[in-house]
Structure 1
Amino acid sequence: MCGRYSVVIDEAKLRKQFTKDLVTPTGGLPTNYNMAPTQDGLVITDREPGQLSAFRWGLVPFWAKDLKIGARMINARREGIEDKSSFRKPIRERRCLVIGDSFYEWKREGGSKTPFRILPTDDTLLVMAGIWESWSPKDGGDTVYTYSIITGPPNKEMTSIHDRMPMLLTTAEQQGAWLDRDADLPAILDLLATPPDGTLKTYPVSQEVGNVRNNGPRLHEPSA
């Protein structure tokens, strides 16, 4: 699974990787070294491919009674995603790129767990395949936009750490295809492939990342 990641984004790198005309959130780019479920993350959607938007992490289906279900739907398994009731419509009609710089995963060793930071070897921004949804409360309150990160089997770098990982879209061609609203389902599902070996680099970090109250640059520092 993917239960924590970081959003530490240099705007110049962002515009170079996507487009110089990308519209960013009012107030500038937020920084979060310890992104946790139900917090707002940054996405680029198929509806607004020229805009970076802040959506709540944890997909809430339009039919949900409240937002609580979102905390349990931060990830969507790629296997059978097209048939699951909560995901079958979003995978066809509401896809997004989830933007960050790295994600965290815990490696089990005996009775302990060691957190690792995982990031692209080429120092580009991390682009994870996602789906999104809009949810409106029955009392007429504001619409809430949410997302889920799609996960699948690990590549070589991740195998020794965990048996799941986010599905990454590492090229501009893949990212454009993912946001193509005219793409058919088989073509979309083909994009959800385990990233090639050598795509990622990893190193252990402090146990502090396990507590959502902890934040800041120290969480990116290699552990002793």
Structure 2
Amino acid sequence: MCYFIEINLTKIELEKRFGAKMPEDFQWKPAYFFSGFDYPRIPVVISQQPENFVPAYWGLVPSWIREESKAFEIRSKTLNARMESISEKPSFRKPFLSRRCLVPAHGFYEWHHAGTRKYPFYIALANDEPFALAGITDEWTNPSTGEKIPTFSIITTQANSLLERIHNSKKRMPVILPPEKEKSWIDPSLPPESAMQLLLPYPTELLKAWPVSRQIASRTIDPASPEFIQPVSFPELEIDLK
């Protein structure tokens, strides 16, 4: 699954890469580590207004949720949406049809299991370029305040050969969209059958990965520190990353 991402990209870098403007009233802070379980607010590009970033909270809350307690409860279960069931689950079905989005990223983290131990890995494009993760969004109205709150989920698919070796317990990976497919993904007129065909494992040869410090899980590192993505050697770890 995909619960931890890196978006160490400035407002200017994001605007240039995605051709969308950041809202003036949104204070974007780049970071090497975003945890979905913190439900961070991240700028995404949505089908309805691709010319602007929309700050949305990670953890999709369906528009039909009426109770605030239910909204807080469901979001921990909707950080990711499996492509195999995205067109069937009530939380994801409508967003998949008409509210698809691009989630900007520069890398992501997955855990490798070896016996009883876990090792974190950082994964990025081989060319070190930013990329878009396939996502879906929905807008939930807070019943207490009337505020309309955009939320999103990152779509996952079957792991490629590299991620099978790294993320060897779940064997999943987030859907990375090729740049030439990004506009198609957020085109609201794209039929669901065609949208489903975009949810493929990214080619192994276009990715790079290495182990990083276990401290990324302890919250002892400043999210703005490049220490998050510094390669770390684990002599006891045997894994082929080629």
TM-score, normalized by the shorter chain, greater than 0.5: yes
Residue 10 (structure 1) shift: 4.3
State which drifts further: 126-135 or 22-31: 22-31
Paired amino acid for 2:129: T
* In structure 2, distance between residues paired with 1:34 and 1:213: 12
Match of 2:21 in 1: 23
Residue 213 (structure 1) shift: 6.0
State which drifts further: 126-135 or 207-216: 207-216
- Cα distance 1:25–1:6, how it changes in 2: closer, same or farther (>3 A)? farther
* In structure 2, distance between residues paired with 1:107 and 1:128: 21
Residue 140 (structure 1) shift: 3.5
SS state of the match for residue 175, structure 1?
A: helix
Paired amino acid for 1:4: F
Residue 212 (structure 1) shift: 4.5
* In structure 1, distance between residues paired with 2:227 and 2:33: 11
State which drifts further: 143-152 or 133-142: 133-142
Match of 2:134 in 1: 129
1:147 maps onto 2:152 in alignment: yes
SS state of the match for residue 111, structure 2?
A: strand
State which drifts further: 113-122 or 28-37: 28-37
Match of 1:55 in 2: 56
Greater helix share, 1 or 2?
A: 2
* In structure 1, distance between residues paired with 2:172 and 2:31: 23
Give RMSD over aligned pairs.
1.6
SS state of the match for residue 205, structure 2?
A: coil
Paired amino acid for 1:180: D
Match of 2:218 in 1: 211
Residue 50 (structure 1) shift: 1.0
- Cα distance 1:16–1:140, how it changes in 2: closer, same or farther (>3 A)? closer
Q: Residue 15 of structure 2 contacts residue 22 of structure 2 at CA under 8 Å; is this kept in 1?
A: no
Q: Residue 206 of structure 1 contacts residue 222 of structure 1 at CA under 8 Å; is this kept in 2?
A: yes
Paired amino acid for 2:227: R
Match of 2:9 in 1: 9
- Cα distance 1:198–1:94, how it changes in 2: closer, same or farther (>3 A)? same
1:105 maps onto 2:110 in alignment: yes
TM alignment of 1:71-220, pairs within 5 A? 71-162=76-167, 163-171=171-179, 173-212=180-219, 214=221, 215=223, 216-220=225-229
* Deviation per residue, 1:157-216 (Å, 9 max, x gap): 211011000011022x31010011111111111111111221210011111211346422
Residue 11 (structure 1) shift: 4.9
| Aligned residue pair count | 221
TM-score, length basis structure 1: 0.92
* In structure 2, distance between residues paired with 1:24 and 1:4: 22
TM-score, length basis structure 2: 0.86
Match of 2:238 in 1: none
Residue 47 (structure 1) shift: 1.0
SS state of the match for residue 86, structure 1?
A: helix
Q: Which runs of 5+ in 1 are unaligned?
A: none
Match of 2:45 in 1: 44
**Sequence identity (%):** 33
